[in-house]
Structure 1
Amino acid sequence: MHPLRSQSRRFLLPAAAVILACGACSEDPSGGGVPLGEEQRGIATFYDANGSGNCSYAPTGDLMVAAMNTPQYANSAACGQCVDITGPQGSVRVRIVDRCPECAAGHLDLSREAFARIAEMRLGRVDITWTPVSCDVAGNIEYHFKDGSNPWWTAIQVRNHRLPIQKLEWRRGTGGWQEVRRESYNYFVNDSGMGDGPFDIRVTAPDGQQLEDTLTRVLDDGSVEGSGQFR
């Protein structure tokens, strides 16, 4: 075990040092996340990541991933966002898959594999700059229904998106669009369900781009490929 390892799974920086390192960091707990292209300053640490975490993604073989600090996690608005990080010995692009509960604004907790791209592992924590960027993904977005979803309780997660998801709306027939509540575990949940289908889904990116799809029915732990992708 590394000598800097705390009792939790993550490296911690003393509170005063966090304030100094992140004095220029923006905090947005309202749900908007950090805007694309807005450079942040902070620190990087590492943990034993496997691609899963608070964003409710499955473990993955691509371990260029990270956990976002709690203020800038923004109630899961950061989930799936890509971030370019520059450290003392290199740079790396990661995808946000988790939340670091004890991390202050500006702090990113990286997988071991990602941390090794920017610094020597023995350092444990290093100063970084980081910038949210568009993800280089292939294919269209994907809608995943949470296990237990049914016509009377429906939870949808958006996957494989190039830009962060700002909001998700739904409608039936010619009715008006209704915004669906976002949970901190990265699902949009309609407590009264979306019925037997078909129904329309509309997702919006922070820059205003929108994608619309018609889904035929609610699935239980199943996925549906959308018809488009953000630019």
Structure 2
Amino acid sequence: MKTARQAARERRRRRRLLLGTTWALAAAGVLAYMVMGVFPGGGANAGSAAGTPSASQVRAAGSAEARAAATSASPTTTGTPTPKAAATKPSARPSAKDTPHSGRTASTTAAPAGRIRPNTTYTGVATAYAAGDGNGACLFGPSDDLMIAAMNTTDYETSRACGAYVLVHAANGASVTVRITNECPLPCAPGQLDLSQQAFAKLADLKVGRLPITWQLVSPGTAGTMSIRYKTGSSPYWCGIQVIGHRNPVARLEVRTSGGWRQLPRTDYNYFVSADGAGCGGSIRVTDIYGEQLTVSGIALRPDVVQPTQVQFARH
């Protein structure tokens, strides 16, 4: 039989055991709840997370689709052959090392279209002016050959007509070939040629004043080789380049730079200008209206000096 003291100890031991069990059960429940919250089963939440793209995924996919659509809709600029790429193709064009002065290459581009075109007849009137020493707006300089003319402003087309040879026909059957060296400002109308008095006299008496004519571009067989001239004031920081003595009208002039060929803009005083000096003193590539390209090297940066080349555009 237990004593009162033993009975009290037994009660205290049962209470501690019951309290410990209760705390253990409570802790297990809390832990189970936390595990379920952090690691959910393969239910709806898991399916939603896998099936719905994030905002960054939507933007990336949209960008890819846009790029794909743009690519299929039109070619990019990088897909267009550049002059530098074209120069690497096998061709008849000699390199600067092979030809120290100049070279010729076949046409690589379509002939640039201007107002004056091959195989086209133009109608207008001829007038006459005192040509003096033959110099004019094209700034070619004095000329011993005064079979020259001034082109009306419209067809002059920012000096594009400079150096062109045109065959002029009068209604009386007379004809004369003249070289464009000047501009005839308004009121000269489109189609009008202001001939030197010497050239006009080949068609009619100067007293006629105005003479109905037709004319067309020609490519003469007697032209020598062409020359290059740098404008007064040219330097490695700015330069103007002019082509002289070309058989066919010049449509484009490019200079070789560290980044490849660079086309220069043409002025109304018949020079092609590199405003930042790029390419000044380097190789020059000239293209006529038929698309033929002539590459010239070895031209020194010497202002106002006519430097001959060894090339000329082909006759057409």
* CA pair 196-81 structure 1, distance change in 2 beyond 3 A: closer
- Paired with 1:172 and 1:125, the residues of 2 have a C-alpha distance of 49
Alpha-carbon contact 2:149-2:178 (below 8 Å) kept? yes
Q: Superposition pairs for residues 92-131 of structure 1, below 5 Å?
A: 92-102=176-186, 103-131=188-216
The CA deviation string for residues 5-51 of structure 1, in whole angstroms up to 9 with x for no partner, is: xxxxxxxxxxxxxxxxxxxxxxxxx9824012211111000011131
Match for residue 157 of structure 2?
A: 74
Identity of aligned residues (%): 44
Alpha-carbon contact 1:165-1:205 (below 8 Å) kept? yes
The CA deviation string for residues 64-92 of structure 1, in whole angstroms up to 9 with x for no partner, is: 00000111001101000001001134110
Q: Superposition pairs for residues 1-231 of structure 1, below 5 Å?
A: 32-50=114-132, 51-89=134-172, 90-102=174-186, 103-172=188-257, 175-194=259-278, 197=281, 199-231=282-314
TM-score (ref. length: structure 1) = 0.81
**SS class of match (1:99):** strand
| More displaced 10-residue stretch of structure 1: 110-119 or 207-216 | 207-216
Alpha-carbon contact 1:211-1:228 (below 8 Å) kept? yes
| More displaced 10-residue stretch of structure 1: 124-133 or 82-91 | 82-91
* CA pair 86-159 structure 1, distance change in 2 beyond 3 A: same
TM-score (ref. length: structure 2) = 0.60
Give 5+ residue unaligned stretches, structure 1: 1-29
- Paired with 1:170 and 1:128, the residues of 2 have a C-alpha distance of 39
Q: Name the larger-Rg structure.
A: 2
- Paired with 1:181 and 1:220, the residues of 2 have a C-alpha distance of 19
Shift of 1:104: 1.1
- Paired with 2:160 and 2:207, the residues of 1 have a C-alpha distance of 32
The CA deviation string for residues 50-71 of structure 1, in whole angstroms up to 9 with x for no partner, is: 3111101212121100000111
Give 5+ residue unaligned stretches, structure 2: 1-111
- Paired with 2:279 and 2:291, the residues of 1 have a C-alpha distance of 28
What RMSD, in angstroms, separates the aligned Cα atoms of the two structures? 1.8
Select the structure that is richer in strand: 1
The CA deviation string for residues 66-123 of structure 1, in whole angstroms up to 9 with x for no partner, is: 0001110011010000010011341100000000011111100000010011112111
Alpha-carbon contact 1:31-1:75 (below 8 Å) kept? no
Shift of 1:195: 6.0
**SS class of match (1:71):** helix
Match for residue 4 of structure 1?
A: none
Select the structure that is richer in helix: 2
- Paired with 1:125 and 1:221, the residues of 2 have a C-alpha distance of 37
Match for residue 65 of structure 2?
A: none
- Paired with 2:216 and 2:307, the residues of 1 have a C-alpha distance of 30
- Paired with 2:154 and 2:286, the residues of 1 have a C-alpha distance of 23
**SS class of match (2:155):** helix
**SS class of match (1:56):** coil
What count of residue pairs does the alignment treat as equivalent?
Answer: 200
Amino acid at match of 2:179: R
Which portions of structure 1, spanning 4 or more consecutive aligned residues, are displaced by more than 4 angstroms? none
Alpha-carbon contact 1:135-1:161 (below 8 Å) kept? no
